[in-house]
Amino acid sequence: MTLMGAAALLILVLTYAGVAIGRIPGLRLDRAGIALLGGAAMIAIGALSMEDAYRAINFDTITLVLGMMIVVAHLKVSGAFRGLGAVAIEHAHAPFMLLVMVTLLTGVLSAFLVNDAICLVMAPIVVHVTRVIKRNPIPYLIATATASNCGSVATITGNPQNMVIGALSGISYPAFSAALAPVALFSLVAVVVIVRIVYRAEFARTAQLTPEVSRGRMHKGQVLKAVVVCIGLAIAFFAGVPVAKAALIGGAILLLTRAIKPERIYREIDGPLLFMFAGLFVVVAGAEKTLLTPDIIASAKNLGLDDVWRLSGFTAVLSNIMSNVPAVLALRPFIPGLENPERAWLVVAMSSTLAGNFTLLGSVANLIVAEQAGTAGAHLSFGAFFKVGLPLTLITLGVGTAWLAFGF
């Protein structure tokens, strides 16, 4: 190995370790800063020129994520999310029906919009409702987190890792959904069943509920415009319009308003996530150029990743070690050389997302729910989540892998 190769390997390992841990001890660097530092280091050692670094960043992914963030921010600021949540939850008049409603609402919204943003909206609503009706909030919060992961499996726009895979793989929106929507639907049913079993005491107590949710202030005109844009986006996605193009245009249209200050929308955009994507694209490209010779890439076949079950398990483990988006980017150089790259990408999308339900630390969505719950005075512990997460992950990964192995 050359000196540059050794340096690139060190940068790759340190960047991914930092992203996995979330910080560098003694420094005020978050995941975005670590990824950007890693990308800059790759350029500094000469692994990539500036032109190569620009080309390494997949701007379709960045544009898609940005566009969807603007759409979701508008839905949140306009009051659309809270209004929809209020209407749905207020029709749940029994504990089990409340569980079903929370799971379905979170899962369906997460299927088309970024799941992390849905958790930011749903978690406070769930805590408020359960407090008003004097029920244990934990089962419903766990359902919120796990349903957001499960529902987001269904489409390219469901979560950041799917957006990356959609841009890298070239799989169309309809083809992606046709393959993975059945897995998402089964997984949402599994959430309801497993939460019901694990927290049977909560649902054994029959009660007539009258949940009330404060709708807050709603900009009705903006809500209507956002709904129209979302319907237009769904039609465009399934009609084959490039998802990044459609999302950017949809987001730009929603910025045309007299009712909402643009600063309120900008505050909802997760800039650090975009920076992390850019940095990781450069880091992976630098490692690929200096370390991954054709022979090494071809040796991936020796790992047996052509086998759907092995690829699914490998992705799930990798996602829990380094988080799902970095795991997807780490696998990027090896997938095109596999026997069926399209199926392999779908396996990676399914497994990297469902693996997030394994522990409370498994996905950003889980951490958002826990943080929002803690702010509202409800403590979601690692153990409480794991009682649901362990069986849910094993069952959904098993069924999802079988579906892609034998049904695709």
The stretch 367-395 carries a mean pLDDT of 87
Residues spanned by the domain of 281: 3-407
- 3-state DSSP call for residue 359? coil
The stretch 30-36 carries a mean pLDDT of 89
The stretch 249-260 carries a mean pLDDT of 86
Among 141-145, 317-321, 348-352, 376-380, the least confident range: 376-380
| Residue 179, pLDDT score | 95
Among 89-103, 156-170, 175-189, 269-283, the least confident range: 89-103
* Number of domains into which the chain is organized: 1
| Residue 186, pLDDT score | 97
Task: For CA atoms 377, 365, 251, 87, give the dihedral sign.
Answer: negative
**Beta-carbon-side half-sphere exposure of residue 90 (alpha carbons within 13 Å):** 10
With a CB cutoff of 8 Å and minimum separation 6, the contacts of 307 are: none
CB contact at 8 A, 142 and 379: no
| Residue 210, pLDDT score | 63
The stretch 77-81 carries a mean pLDDT of 80
Give the rounded percent of residues in the chain with a pLDDT score beyond 70: 91
With a CB cutoff of 8 Å and minimum separation 6, the contacts of 279 are: 15, 32, 34, 35, 36, 37, 38, 39, 40
**Nearest residue to 104 via CA among 78, 143, 71:** 143
Residue 372 has pLDDT above 70, yes or no: yes
Task: For CA atoms 273, 276, 282, 284, give the dihedral sign.
Answer: negative
| Residue 394, pLDDT score | 96
